Amino acid sequence: MDLSTLPQPTAEHYRQSYGSPPDRSLYVTRDFLKARYIDPDGDGVLQLKKQYVDELIRQIEAKEIAFRKLVVSNETLTEVVISLHREGTEAGAGECLREVRTNDIFEIAQTSRDRFDAAAGHFEYLRDKDPNFGEFIDYQVMMEEGIRYVATWDTDFRNFEWVSLLPISRWGV
């Protein structure tokens, strides 16, 4: 699915599956988080990604959806800030780090040695190393924290069992 075909974001794009109590936490991946802090500069797809992230945060702050926390691992946050800085958006890197560390809707999950080792153990068994190791750390954090939903533009997360990808219009759920 081409991202440029997505409609303007609404609460419906972050709807959870019916039949079970709503999850309070949503895991956010690198590219999803990064989109909030990049200047789209006329790029329609980047503008749309930013709108989706901004709208998700607005909906959580306004309590329009069940999610209350956006969870990100310390490794993921580090990668986003470094990537923003390398792309010449030092202001975006600083804003990202500051917002994720101070806004109550964000929670930084620390990756303990045990979490790291468990992710590494799973990753080592793969032949083609796809998904990448960072995504295995994300998945390990999600499993241990009991987080089933992930906000992502990355198709690799479809390889993990038990994970539901959002926004739903992107994944056809």
Please state, for a pLDDT cut of 90, what percent of the chain lies above it: 42
Burial class (CB in 10 A: 0-12, 13-18, 19+), 107: middle
Question: What are the CA-CA distances from residue 88 to residues 39, 77, 81, 101, 102 (Å)?
Answer: 11, 17, 11, 21, 23
Domain boundaries, the chain: 22-171
Which pLDDT score, from 0 to 100, does residue 106 have? 97
- The confidence band for 11, taking pLDDT boundaries of 50, 70 and 90, is confident
Q: Per the structure block, which two tokens stand in for 169?
A: 């219009």
- Are 100 and 72 in contact by the 8 Å Cβ rule? The answer is yes
**Cross-strand bridge partners of residue 70:** 26, 106
Which pLDDT score, from 0 to 100, does residue 126 have? 66
Least confident of 17-31, 54-68, 98-112, 159-173: 159-173
For domain 22-171, the CATH architecture is 3-Layer(aba) Sandwich (3.40)
Torsional class of 25: left (φ above 0), alpha (ψ -120 to 50), beta (otherwise) = beta
* Straight-line distance from the first to the last Cα atom of the chain, in angstroms, rounded to the nearest whole number: 13
- The confidence band for 81, taking pLDDT boundaries of 50, 70 and 90, is very high
- How do strand 149-151 and strand 25-28 relate by DSSP bridges? parallel
State the Cα–Cα distance between residues 58 and 89, nearest whole angstrom.
23
